[in-house]
Each structure stands twice: as structure tokens, then as C-alpha cells.
């Protein structure tokens, strides 16, 4: 890990479109992420394939969106489909500067028409050999749906992540009421990094005037160094979510 610690970013990229879907801005998103210089990217709403956009949008990349962002910067990446439809699919992706030991995409959707999944990977620091469990999520819009998804996520962590293993869970929780806190803190011993460092959740949606605390980075077995909401230019002109960036020491 770098002297600055393990730097992570969680970001809902809105399938590469700006707020209002007026412009395709994936190239600008890639440039902004490259400049932010994170070791790990937890990305939601990554377009794995969209055959209509491939034909109609002039600068649509030949690679999948996660491969396009990762190329030349993050040599290791994993992708899990969240939603599959006639034109293609989108989901969660984790891009990493450290190799993956293992990974799995777990379906946590209670309804067939609202597919959601949990992308769980394990990376390893080549220098120390330390394994870190990393989980990228994008939960549903209704409270009942999120409650069922949180229960499945907790079951996954309890059964697959040792208590003494470093763990990061990040993504778009769609949980503006903060109801995930009791699941994570009380049952799993997880803390939310922006809340620890700033006293409350980061407001990340909508990006041009953040009001709702939708995006979170939870952790266990690491020491938080810093956390910030990236809401300045160019971020507020890209996705409809503002990203969160945090640094940890093992």
C-alpha cells in the first residue's frame, strides 16, 4: 500500500451519462477518476453492454465501460451484472491495483423485475500478503426491498468474511433514512467512514445540489485516515451522484 494508505472511491457512474442524460461523459469520468488516483474503485451502474448505444453514440467505447476505465490504470477488475435486458446489461464493478484472490457476484434481488446483486471480492497486498475483503453494492429503491437485501448481505459477510479480516463495503445504498446502520453497526461491527471522520453521512445526491445521503463506505479492521465528498468541478457535471473518496491504514 502507498504511504497515504489504501485509497478507495465509491461512485455511481450513471451508465456514463451526465445528469438528465443529455450527454455521454464516460471519457470525462475516466479522466476524473484517473486524476483522483485511487487504489480501488467501487463503481455502480456500469454498462457492460448496450447494443443500441453502440450504434447511436459516436464516442461509445469498443470495450465495456469498466474495461475502458480500467485500461492502463487498474490492471485487475471484476464485474457483476445487476440488470439484464434485450439491449444488454449493467451492474457493479470493482477496479483494483492489487490482484484478486477470489470473487463472486451474488444475486440479492427479491423480485425478478428489479435485479440487484452484491459483488464480493478478495484482494491481496503483494508486499504484506494481507487479504482485504471488498464488497460493491447497489440496493433497491423501496424500503422493503432494501431490508431484504441488507439481510442477505449480512448473511454473506457473516458466513464468508472472518471477523479479523479487513473489510470494505461501499456503494449506492439508496438509504437516505440511514436504516442500514443498525444492520451494519449492531450486527457486523461496521462503521461508515464519512460519519466517523465528519460526524454524519455525506450528502451525495443529486450531484449538482447534494441533499440525500445515498452513497456510503463502511469498513471494519482498518483505520480511517480521511474521507471526502467529491462535489467540486468536474464531478458535479458528470454523474447524478457525487463520489466518495476515503483512505485507510491497515
Answer whether residue 2 shows pLDDT above 60: no
Q: Compute CA distances 154 → 18, 29, 88, 135, 236, whole Å.
A: 33, 31, 30, 11, 32
User: Is the four-CA dihedral 178, 182, 186, 189 of positive or negative sign?
Assistant: negative
3-state secondary structure of 215: strand
Residue-wise pLDDT tens digits, 171-193: 999 988 877 887 788 888 999 99
| Domain residue limits, the chain | 6-249
Does the domain formed by 6-249 have CATH 3.40.50.300? no
Pull the grid cell for residue 91: 451492474
Q: All 3 cell numbers of residue 139?
A: 440496493
Q: What are the tens digits of pLDDT across the range 71-101?
A: 999 999 999 998 888 888 999 999 999 999 9
Mean confidence (pLDDT) of the chain: 92
Report angle CA 172, 175, 178 to the nearest 5 degrees.
125
* pLDDT-wise least confident of 79-93, 105-119, 191-205: 105-119
**∠218-21-109 over CA atoms, to 5°?**
45
Helix, coil or strand: residue 247 = strand
Q: What is the pLDDT of residue 181?
A: 82
Q: Are 8 and 246 in contact (CB under 8 A)?
A: yes
Q: pTM for this one? A: 0.94
49 to each of 16, 88, 202, 224, how far by Cα in Å? 12, 5, 31, 36
Amino acid at each position: 500500500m502507498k504511504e497515504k494508505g489504501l485509497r478507495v472511491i465509491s461512485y455511481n457512474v450513471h451508465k456514463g451519462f451526465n445528469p438528465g442524460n443529455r450527454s455521454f461523459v464516460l471519457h470525462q469520468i475516466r479522466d476524473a477518476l484517473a486524476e483522483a488516483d485511487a487504489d480501488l474503485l467501487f463503481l455502480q451502474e456500469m454498462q457492460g453492454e448496450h447494443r443500441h448505444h453502440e450504434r447511436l453514440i459516436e464516442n461509445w467505447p469498443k470495450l465495456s465501460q469498466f474495461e475502458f476505465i480500467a485500461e492502463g490504470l487498474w490492471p485487475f477488475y471484476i464485474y457483476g451484472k445487476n440488470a439484464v435486458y434485450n439491449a444488454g446489461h449493467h451492474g457493479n464493478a470493482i477496479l483494483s491495483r492489487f490482484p484478486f484472490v477470489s470473487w463472486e457476484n451474488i444475486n440479492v434481488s427479491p423480485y425478478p423485475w428489479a435485479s440487484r446483486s452484491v459483488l464480493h471480492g478478495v484482494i491481496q497486498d503483494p508486499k504484506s500478503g494481507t487479504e482485504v475483503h471488498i464488497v460493491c453494492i447497489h440496493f433497491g429503491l423501496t424500503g422493503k426491498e432494501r431490508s431484504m437485501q441488507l439481510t442477505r448481505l449480512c448473511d454473506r459477510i457473516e458466513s464468508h468474511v472472518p471477523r479479523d479480516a479487513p473489510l470494505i463495503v461501499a456503494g449506492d445504498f439508496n438509504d437516505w433514512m440511514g436504516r442500514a446502520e443498525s444492520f451494519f453497526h449492531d450486527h457486523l461491527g461496521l462503521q461508515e467512514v464519512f460519519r466517523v471522520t465528519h460526524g454524519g453521512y455525506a450528502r451525495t445526491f443529486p450531484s449538482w445540489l447534494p441533499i440525500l445521503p445515498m452513497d456510503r463506505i463502511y469498513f471494519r479492521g482498518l483505520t480511517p485516515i480521511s474521507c471526502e465528498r467529491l462535489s467540486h468541478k468536474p464531478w458535479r457535471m458528470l454523474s447524478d451522484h457525487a463520489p466518495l473518496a476515503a483512505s485507510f491504514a491497515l
